[in-house]
Amino acid sequence: MEVFTRYEGNPILTVKDIPYPANSVFNAAACVFGSQTLLLMRVEDKRGISHLTVATSDDGVTGWRVEPGPALEPDPVKHPEEIWGIEDPRITRIDDLDLWAVLFTAYSRGGPLVSLATTRDFRVFERKGVVMPPEDKDAALFPVRFGGRWAMVHRPASSVEHTGAHIWISFSPDMKHWGDHQVLLPARKGAWWDANKIGLSPPPMETDKGWLVLYHGVRATASGCIYRLGLALLDRQDPTRVLMRSDEWVFGPQEDYEVVGDVDKVVFPCGWVRHGDEVRLYYGAADRCIGLAFTTVGKLLSWLEEHHDRDRRAWP
Ligand code: BMA
């Protein structure tokens, strides 16, 4: 059984849909905004520098309306860390604060790092600045506090060649000062599909059984990297506790638009949206366009239950 079903009209957005000159559109964050589905898309310009642009759709599948210009552009004068662009956003709705928190990768001279901006309308953004120094990326906030503190999943990677790049979790009283850093999911080793380098994909999704985590594993091969996705489940009250982790990947590049692009063999979701039990996954394909795949919370959880790795010795 395939857990995800690709939309037959994929890709849903390509650079032809961008109303100004650009190279590619991919790795979009997603949320339900009012009655619409909203994507905050990474658009790479023809210099190679990325910014974020909004697209909306009434049904979340068709009829995408792309805004005439960027929603969030690199601002290297006020924010030198954005000199080489802003990439790969993840949106979390924070009901308690009545706002949306967007974590994104800012590409600084010192390497990629994690920055935070908040918004109420996806037109005006308040930049909160850098929250994790380089190298760090693939970050998302949980929508609620744990014991009074915000929690963030992220992926520091200072010495991949020595120790691997693992998924970490950190805590903060105010979303600005972060501490209690700890490894949440280590990359596996050797021949595994998720050996040496992994990262969070969309923000963790709350379910009755715990927080569902979809993460990417990067397999290095002689002909380049393959980006595939696996699942994990975190305890609902204590997200530092990993309850399950899949042994196999659950979704990987297969269709032409996922296999061939600016970077071949990449599926890279930064957003998923839940409507009841249905889950819609919005993913960057081959660093070139955006695809959509459907599944349900029930399918994700039962697949994970069947495929979870009971032998944790295979982890690090
Ligand atoms: C990762 C990120 C993503 C990108 C992927 C494949 O490191 O930079 O933005 O989609 O590589 O190139």
pLDDT tens-digit readout, 129-185: 999 999 999 999 999 999 999 999 999 996 656 688 999 999 999 999 999 999 999
Q: How many C-beta neighbours within 10 Å does residue 248 have? A: 14
What CA–CA distance (Å, rounded) separates 71 from 9? 26
Tell me what pLDDT residue 73 has. Answer: 98
Give the span between the Cα atoms of 113 and 103, in whole angstroms: 10
Ligand 1, closest atom to CA 266? 6
Ligand 1 mean position, distance from CA 219 (Å) = 13
Alpha-carbon span 50 to 65, nearest angstrom: 20
Distance CA 265, CA 218 (A): 10
The order of strands in the sheet holding 65-66 is 24-33, 36-44, 50-57, 65-66
| Ligand 1 lining (C-beta closer than 6 Å) | 27, 87-88, 227, 263, 266, 268, 284, 287
CA distance 99 to 211: 21
* pTM (two decimals): 0.97
**What per-residue confidence (pLDDT) applies to 253?**
98
> How large is the average pLDDT for residues 225-240?
98
- Between the CA of 286 and the centroid of ligand 1 the distance, in Å, is 9
Ligand 1: distance of its center to the CA of 202 in Å? Answer: 14
pLDDT of residue 309: 80
Average pLDDT on 89-116 reads: 98
Ligand 1 center to 66 CA (angstroms): 23
pLDDT at 52: 99
The CATH class given to the 5-309 domain equals mainly beta
Pocket test of ligand 1: the residue of 40, 43, 88 to mutate, having most ligand atoms within 8 Å of its CB, is 88
pLDDT at 310 over 90: no
* pLDDT beyond 90 at 311: no
Q: Is the pLDDT of residue 74 over 90?
A: yes
How high is the pLDDT of residue 103? 98
Atom of ligand 1 nearest to the CA of 225: 6
Give distance in angstroms: CA of 209 to centre of ligand 1.
30
Q: Is the pLDDT of residue 316 over 70?
A: no
Dist. CA 60 → ligand 1 center (Å): 24
Q: What is the pLDDT of residues 1-15, one digit of tens each?
A: 799 999 999 999 999
Query: Residue 266: phi, psi to the nearest 5?
Result: -130, 125
For the CA of 26, the nearest atom of ligand 1: 10
Q: What is the mean pLDDT of the chain?
A: 96
Q: Tell me which residue of 160, 165, 173, 137 sits closest to 50, measured CA to CA.
A: 137
Cis peptide upstream of residue 135 (ω within 30 degrees of 0): yes
How far is the centre of ligand 1, averaged over its atoms, from the C-alpha of 267 (Å)? 9
Ligand 1 pocket: which of 86, 227, 229, 283 to mutate (most atoms within 8 A of CB): 227
Q: Which atom of ligand 1 is nearest to the CA of 284?
A: 10
Rounded distance between C-alpha atoms, residue 53 and residue 288, angstroms: 15
Structure tokens at 76: 């290297």
The CA distance from 61 to 221, in Å, is 34
Note the pLDDT tens digit of each residue in 241-287. Answer: 999 999 999 999 999 999 999 999 999 999 999 999 999 999 999 99
pLDDT cut 90: percent of the chain above it: 95
In the chain, domain spans: 5-309
